[in-house]
């Protein structure tokens, strides 16, 4: 780093103050200042009094700084990186670079075309311009030590697009509960089929031969199955309610987080009424996840049990049922495309209406 660039970074350090920082900010070690600035950039406030030095060196090292950030609830890694890696941080958040003299700087961006990175002092104000530094000048004061920080919640989870794939992943996280619901539903389907088959046997065989002992046995079996079906159905409803509440909470948290992370220019380009209308549509998705989706899942399990029983009783009637179901599916798929276009027009009209009413 030449004298001109060093002078600029030094002037930023003397002139700047961290916005919203305590009065003792200037007495904190430069490396702690850099980590504090990056944490504040991500919306996390670290306490310098909680910093603990594990090594004998008076200068905080990368491992101690990373552990301090992790104790504060952030994701952090201390590592050595090369110049080629720095050029990849073109559109990421600030990165803490630890200099050889015990100081630190903030990497705020990079330009692979110009082969430079942009550094800012930890004391520089928010509106201070970063300084362009090339590889030769940076290598004179930096040996590759860096600390990466970001919020504990990954950007992928917070900024994931609201798509069908995201909803599938949301349901997939409840795979254990869904497995329990599936087992309970399969068992309940069997318990639903068995009593009619037993009654059929009762009518065809028991009453014909006046077998009282068989009648008592079948009646007791049906009573036990009824009690077991009632208890298992109650347990399944409890699990469904728990899964529905979890999905509802995760969906609300995701929507609320996305709303808070929207840039200010979004609200300048979109009326408040339009935003409120889109938020109101979230309730339909909630009803789908906690109602229709689970009921469809349960119906599919029931079909897997009932269809083989239908073919066992009468194959002709079973094929007739499948044929009618196929015709109904073809009709539904034929109407999906025009309904989607019409419904999109309704959504656009309702959006403009809500925006006008909101304004």
pLDDT of residue 164: 67
pLDDT of residue 328: 92
pLDDT of residue 331: 92
Give the separation between CA 330 and CA 105, rounded to whole angstroms: 64
pLDDT of residue 340: 84
Domains of the chain, earliest start first: 3-152 (3.90.70.10), 158-358 (1.20.1560.10)
pLDDT in tens, the chain (359 residues): 444 444 444 434 333 333 344 444 445 678 888 888 888 888 788 888 878 776 666 778 888 888 888 888 788 888 888 888 888 887 777 889 998 888 888 998 888 888 999 998 877 777 788 888 898 998 898 988 999 888 765 444 555 566 667 777 777 777 787 788 888 888 887 887 777 777 777 777 666 777 777 777 777 888 888 888 888 888 888 888 888 788 778 777 777 777 777 777 777 777 777 777 777 777 777 777 666 777 777 778 878 888 888 888 888 988 998 899 899 999 988 888 888 888 888 877 877 777 777 77
Query: What is the rounded end-to-end Cα distance, in angstroms, of the chain?
Result: 54
Residue 298 in contact with residue 181, Cβ under 8 Å?
yes
pLDDT of residue 288: 73
Q: Which residue has the tokens 């917070």?
A: 158
- What torsion, rounded to 10 degrees, do the Cα atoms 294, 296, 301, 306 define? 140
């Amino acid at each position: 780093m030449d004298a001109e660039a060093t002078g600029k970074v030094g002037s930023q350090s003397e002139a700047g103050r961290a916005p919203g920082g305590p009065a003792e900010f200037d007495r904190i070690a430069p490396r702690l200042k850099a980590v504090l600035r990056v944490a504040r950039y991500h919306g996390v406030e670290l306490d310098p009094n909680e910093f603990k030095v594990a090594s004998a060196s008076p200068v905080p090292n990368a491992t101690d700084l990373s552990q301090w950030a992790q104790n504060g609830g952030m994701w952090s890694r201390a590592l050595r990186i090369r110049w080629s890696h720095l050029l990849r941080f073109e559109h990421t958040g600030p990165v803490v670079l630890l200099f050889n003299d015990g100081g630190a700087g903030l990497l705020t961006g990079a330009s692979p075309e110009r082969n430079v990175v942009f550094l800012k002092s930890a004391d520089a104000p928010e509106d201070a311009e970063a300084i362009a530094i090339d590889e030769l000048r940076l290598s004179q004061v930096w040996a590759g030590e860096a600390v990466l920080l970001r919020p504990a919640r990954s950007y992928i989870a917070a900024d994931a697009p609201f798509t069908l794939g995201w909803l599938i992943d949301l349901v997939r996280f409840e795979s254990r509960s869904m497995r329990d619901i599936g087992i309970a539903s399969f068992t309940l389907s069997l318990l639903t089929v068995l009593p009619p088959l037993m009654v059929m046997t009762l009518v065809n065989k028991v009453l014909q031969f006046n077998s009282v002992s068989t009648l008592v046995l079948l009646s007791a079996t049906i009573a036990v199955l009824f009690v077991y079906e009632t208890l298992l159905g109650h347990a399944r409803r409890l699990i469904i309610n728990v899964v529905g509440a979890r999905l509802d909470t995760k969906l609300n948290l995701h929507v609320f987080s996305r709303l808070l992370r929207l840039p200010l220019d979004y609200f300048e380009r979109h009326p408040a009424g339009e935003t409120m209308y889109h938020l109101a549509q979230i309730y339909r998705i909630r009803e789908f996840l906690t109602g229709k989706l689970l009921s469809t899942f349960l119906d599919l399990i029931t079909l897997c049990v009932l269809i083989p029983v239908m073919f066992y009783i009468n194959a002709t009637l079973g094929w007739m049922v499948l044929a009618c179901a196929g015709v109904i599916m073809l009709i539904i798929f034929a109407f999906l495309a025009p309904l989607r276009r019409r419904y999109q027009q309704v959504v656009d009209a309702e959006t403009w209406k809500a925006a006008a009413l909101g304004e």
